[in-house]
Amino acid sequence: MSAYILLASNDSEFNDELMLHANQYEPDFEWVLPDDDRASCATVAACWFPDKDLLTRFPNIQCLHSLAAGVEHLGETLLHSSLPICRIVDEEQKVGMLEYVLWGVLYFQRDFDRAVENQKRNHWQRYPQKKAEEITIGIMGLGEIGGYVANGLANQGYKVSGWSRTAKSFDNIQCFSGNSGLDRFLENTQIVVNLLPLNDSTYRLINESFLDKLPDDAMLINCGRGGHICYQDLCNALSRGTLRGAILDVFDDEPLQESNALWHTPNVLITPHMASASSSQVLVKQVIDNTQRFVEGRDLINTVGYAD
């Protein structure tokens, strides 16, 4: 046996599915769960919302591999552990994100949010149909996934703008960057789609000041991270009616607690972190490929620092 891979995840159903594929894939790398006696021998941890004391419990871990495109779910302790961190990069994930965002855009564009509320009141009301070219969508975060989503929406006929921390350039997309470009990006955006990574500069970026710069009746789709949003400010904007609605797929703590007020906040649609996901086969393959590289002393692929 060359190496053990520790599966450190807070989702038991996800663990069962992943383990089913993992130990059928490559006999030289055996996946183990934290309660397995062999877990203490693992040098690589495949992570999805792992316990913050992971490295205390398993001091032999020398490499952390996120089981997602993002790494923020690792938590501050692991992110700042100085260990190499890898993430998943997958074409399938980009396609899934575009599908989810397009669905979210259509949810607002075709007034499905209003139809759902009207049904609760047995109220029949039709709304004028809006064309894609009449909708301005702003994509926050123009990395691998964000750029793909922005291009996909532009190809569907939407007016698309994008904002990123550093300057980017895409055909058919009006790009803004940095603090100086954020206000101009927001002032004409009808539907904001957040796909930013979470770091010190983007934490609670979506706050009262941010929301007040949007035009009245704007909408928000958050597929970035829960830490991007100041939830009290979001609820206030929804209550005042300055923000029409929000689709939220990610949260500070997951699963979202049953007692969380967001479940019952008007004009909020909650989805359980389902915007996009790689297949178990893709996750297993990429983790094993990097583990092979780690064992052999070769350069890891898809590495990322917290600031990224």
User: Given phi > 0 = left and psi -120 to 50 = alpha, else beta, which region is 95?
Assistant: alpha
DSSP 303: B
DSSP 299: P
Neighbours of 26 (CB within 10 A): 17
User: Given phi > 0 = left and psi -120 to 50 = alpha, else beta, which region is 143?
Assistant: beta
At 177, phi and psi to the nearest 5?
Answer: -150, 155
Point out the catalytic residue in the list 65, 225, 228, 244.
225
CA dihedral of 213, 215, 221, 222, whole degrees rounded to 10: 10
| 228 a catalytic residue | no
Tell me the residue length of the chain. Answer: 308
| 273 a catalytic residue | yes
Side-chain half-sphere CA neighbours of 279 within 13 A: 7
The strand pair at 29-32 and 136-140 is best described as unpaired
Q: What angle, 0 to 180 degrees and rounded to 10, lies between the N-to-C axes of helices 280-296 and 12-22?
A: 60
Q: Which residues contact 121 (CB under 8 A, 6 or more apart)?
A: none
Distance from chain centroid for Cα 164: 16
Pair of tokens at residue 8: 């450190």
Tokens 């649609």: give the residue. 269
Q: How far apart are CA 44 and CA 7, in angstroms?
A: 9
Query: What are the residue numbers of the active site?
Result: 225, 273
